[in-house]
Structure 1
Amino acid sequence: MNFLAHTFLSGSDEELLVGNFIADSVKGRQKDGYPAGIRRGIELHRLIDTYTDSHPIVHQTKERLRPEQGKFAGVTTDMFYDHFLAANFEKYASISLLDFSLYVYQTVESYSHILPERVHYFLPYMVKQNWLHRYAQIAGIQDSLNGLSRRSTFASNMSTATQTLEENYQIYKQDFEQFFPELQNYVKQVVAT
């Protein structure tokens, strides 16, 4: 899962959301330097990633993408799944995607004093270009995948992935629709403990 799913799965707990948002920029035991609520969000992010990476439906999506995407099949799957969440946001949330996106940006920015350097670097671009809202369009996913491809130190086909998405849209959408409710249930159980 990518930024949209991670923040959405944080519910209304702001510290959980911020921790979940910054987790990829916090390595190993660095999390111990954060307040308890943020730490919990970082841990939740890691649990979501572990659950997602080991799920058979996600594995199926990655395997479909692997011939073209190679080792980037997982990243591409994350972006596809965020697209399906964004494109169908009203099915999962009681708030519009635009309002939710603005809420995420405002919340994360309000914790600027604790954000990792990497987040300080990309957050202004994310806000200005409204990445979370743009995930609802294939062009928005294409822009994100192009950016990832440019920053990759290895050759990748991420810039061509949306062509595969368009050609097999219903198949990938079905994967997401089967998987995401299971992920939501898993997160509810984890957060409740």
Structure 2
Amino acid sequence: MNHLMHCWLARRCEGHIAGGFLGDFVKGRIPNALPEDLQQGIRLHRYIDRISNQMPEMRETYWRFGTSLRRVAPILLDLIADHLLAKQWERHGQGDLEQFTARCYATISKYPMSDEAKRVYKYVKKVDLWKTYDDFGTMVTVMHRILKRLKFTDRAPELVNIKPKLDDFYQDFLKYYPILVHKTDQWLQQHSNGLTSTTETIPTPIVQ
């Protein structure tokens, strides 16, 4: 999953929200010096990444990207999931998306982060990147950057084939999103150990 989905699934504890972003910048063993709630947020981040990569409901979606993008399909699908969550926020989220992203940025700023994480965080906050995930044009720009970083720039022209399939991607989303919610909720119940900061519950996903 990408950052918006990570933070959304983790929103009931500040350390979990921070882990939804910072988990991408902590490799290997989690330092004991980090705040306990952030350590757990990073563990949650890794759990969500692991189960999403293994879920048949998500893996079955990869073929929609076509043969040329197959190797990067898992990464692109994470971005598509963020786009669909943002686009359908009134249906799958709570409150206002801009308020939620502002809350995430404020929360993340309370926690220690590496220089690389700070650099990315400052940019994301400055442009409110996660709020703009509801715009598919933003997602295409992000996808181009990822392909460039992975040295797959020759595949970039294939991204034009994604937009006509967004309705199909959304139908796939309606299959795997409820499972992600359920498995995350189970993990939180088993591992929170009193760290959950609110009584807020993840709403039951609406599926039609």
Same-fold status (TM-score > 0.5): yes
* Closer/same/farther in 2, CA of residues 98 and 162 from structure 1, 3 Å limit: farther
* TM-score when normalising by structure 1: 0.91
Where does residue 129 of structure 1 map in the other structure?
Answer: 127
**For 1:32, what is the secondary structure of its paired residue?**
coil
* Closer/same/farther in 2, CA of residues 66 and 29 from structure 1, 3 Å limit: farther
Structure 2: gaps of 5 or more residues: 191-208
* Closer/same/farther in 2, CA of residues 161 and 85 from structure 1, 3 Å limit: farther
Are residue 182 (structure 1) and residue 179 (structure 2) matched?
Answer: yes
What amino acid is aligned across from residue 134 of structure 1 in structure 2?
A: T
**For 2:130, what is the secondary structure of its paired residue?**
helix
> What is the CA–CA distance in structure 1 between the aligned matches of 2:30 and 2:7, rounded to whole Å?
20
Deviation at 1:94, TM superposition (A): 2.0
What amino acid is aligned across from residue 50 of structure 1 in structure 2?
A: R
Q: How many residues align?
A: 190
* Closer/same/farther in 2, CA of residues 160 and 102 from structure 1, 3 Å limit: farther
> What is the CA–CA distance in structure 2 between the aligned matches of 1:163 and 1:57, rounded to whole Å?
24
**For 2:107, what is the secondary structure of its paired residue?**
helix
Deviation at 1:147, TM superposition (A): 2.1
Deviation at 1:40, TM superposition (A): 0.5
Contact 1:72 1:158 in 2 (8 A): no
Deviation at 1:66, TM superposition (A): 4.9
Deviation at 1:6, TM superposition (A): 0.1
* TM-score when normalising by structure 2: 0.85
The C-alpha deviation readout for 1:148-190, integer Å capped at 9, x for no partner, is 22323x2246644542221211111111111101100100000
Write out aligned runs for 1:136-175 (5 A): 136-152=134-150, 154-156=151-153, 159-160=156-157, 162-175=159-172
Contact 1:87 1:135 in 2 (8 A): yes
> What is the CA–CA distance in structure 2 between the aligned matches of 1:174 and 1:31, rounded to whole Å?
39
> What is the CA–CA distance in structure 2 between the aligned matches of 1:6 and 1:159, rounded to whole Å?
26
* Closer/same/farther in 2, CA of residues 157 and 65 from structure 1, 3 Å limit: farther
The runs of at least 4 aligned residues of structure 1 exceeding 6 Å deviation read none
Contact 1:31 1:42 in 2 (8 A): no
Coordinate RMSD, CA, aligned: 1.6
